[in-house]
Amino acid sequence: MIKLTKINGTPIVVNAELLETVEATPDTIITLTTGKKILIRDTNDEVIRKVVAYKNEICGRITVVPQDRNG
C-alpha cells in the first residue's frame, strides 16, 4: 500500500499492486486495474518512488532505470 494525496487534499492509501498507469496531464491521474481513475497531487516521479519503496519492502532491493523521455 502507498500513501497518495487526492487533488482536493484528501489523503488516500492505494494498493500499489493495482496500479496500471500513471499519467501527467499536467495533473497526475492514476488508473487502477479495476478501471477506476483517481486524480492526485503526487507527481509521476513521486508515485514511482513510492511504488519502488513498497516493492523493496516486500520483495527486496530493486532498481529503476530511468527511461529516455524521447522515445
Residue 30 grid coordinates? 492514476
pLDDT at 59: 80
Choice between 68 and 57, residue whose per-residue pLDDT is larger: 57
pLDDT at 9: 96
The structural domains of the chain, ordered by start, are 2-59 (2.40.50)
pLDDT at 30: 97
Residue 24 grid coordinates? 501527467
* Beta pairing class for 37-40 and 28-32: antiparallel
Q: At 57, is the pLDDT very low, low, confident or very high (cuts 50, 70, 90)?
A: confident
pLDDT at 64: 64
CA distance 68 to 70: 5
pLDDT at 71 > cutoff 60: no
Residue 20: C-alpha distances to residues 30, 38, 51, 52, 67 (Å): 8, 12, 12, 14, 17
pLDDT at 56: 87
Residue 49 grid coordinates? 518512488
